[in-house]
Amino acid sequence: MVHSIVILHGWSWLASSQQWSGVKELLEDEGYKVYVPDLPGFGQTSPPIKPWAIDDYVEWLRNFCEENNLSEIFLVGHSFGGSVATKFSIKYPEKVKKLILVDSAGIRRKKLKKEILKKVAHLLNTFSFLPFYDLARRIAYQTLFRQSDYLLTEGVMKQTYLKVLEEDISHIFSEIKIPTLLIWGREDKITPLCHAHYIKEKIPSAVLEIIPGVKHNPHFEAPKILVEKILQFIK
């Protein structure tokens, strides 16, 4: 019997299934059937008609599994994809054999920075008629977000990004009942290692594997080590 692995990529303006081609190839060399779909709004998949929340991506994944006759999968979720994988595993546990969260997002405590961001955005909007408006907004968001995902996201995906960013799923990790592996880069600054320890505390049966010297993207930085840890867990 050939087991199926579904990998959900993270969020960035360049995010797509292509980022996981190396990992996909390594897993397929071990005899697994590997699916790495472009989530709606990424890669070759069209964006949704209206802004989506994480739950919308969960339902999209359910449809994807049905269309591909996937009844029981090994589910891998990286960063934003980890949030989708988490909620999917809780809502449809019968469809997931084992869950692997890689530098997963989802813990979004309300911080002063977000409140400042809202006030700055409101202030900047009052000057939208001025020629320096776009430059000032770009500098403000880069300073407060320390990243360009929002700035480089277009159309409906801007509002989708904000909806995803606002949702804190830290309270639901304890609802995961299936075998779970957490894989984290020790040097991750985007979803720091303390998030992994928090999730491990909420899922006592979960296994935590930490990769030294790796940041937020082990599929780029250490693909062979990442695959090795996944295989040890699912075999």
**pLDDT for the residue 135:** 61
Encode pLDDT of 177-201 as tens digits.
999 999 999 999 999 999 999 999 9
Q: 187 and 82 in one domain?
A: yes
Output phi, psi for 205, to 5 deg: -80, -10
Stretch 84-89: mean pLDDT: 98
Q: 146 and 98 in one domain?
A: no
Q: 206 and 145 in one domain?
A: no
Q: 127 and 90 in one domain?
A: no
CA separation for the pair 47, 16 (Å, rounded) = 13
Please name the helix (run of DSSP H) or strand (run of DSSP E) that holds residue 232, with its range, or none: helix 223-234
* DSSP per-residue codes, 93-116: GGGEEEEEEES--------HHHHH
Sequence letter at residue 154: E
Does pLDDT of 140 surpass 80? no
**pLDDT for the residue 113:** 46
Does pLDDT of 231 surpass 90? yes
Q: Where does the pLDDT of residue 117 fall: very low under 50, low under 70, confident under 90, or very high at 90 and above? A: low
Q: 49 and 91 in one domain?
A: yes
Q: Where does the pLDDT of residue 23 fall: very low under 50, low under 70, confident under 90, or very high at 90 and above? A: very high
Q: 49 and 20 in one domain?
A: yes
**pLDDT for the residue 116:** 47
Exposure string over 184-207, b if 16+ CB within 10 A, otherwise e: bbeebebbbbebbeebbeebeebe
Question: In terms of residue numbers, what domain contains 119?
Answer: 112-161
Does pLDDT of 139 surpass 60? no
CB-based contact 195:182 (threshold 8 Å): no
The model carries a pTM of 0.85
Does pLDDT of 146 surpass 50? no
**pLDDT for the residue 67:** 97
Q: Where does the pLDDT of residue 165 fall: very low under 50, low under 70, confident under 90, or very high at 90 and above? A: confident
Question: Percentage of the chain with pLDDT > 90?
Answer: 71
Pairing of strands 180-185, 96-102: parallel
Kindly report the number of other CB atoms within 10 A of residue 180's CB atom.
Answer: 24
CA separation for the pair 12, 46 (Å, rounded) = 15
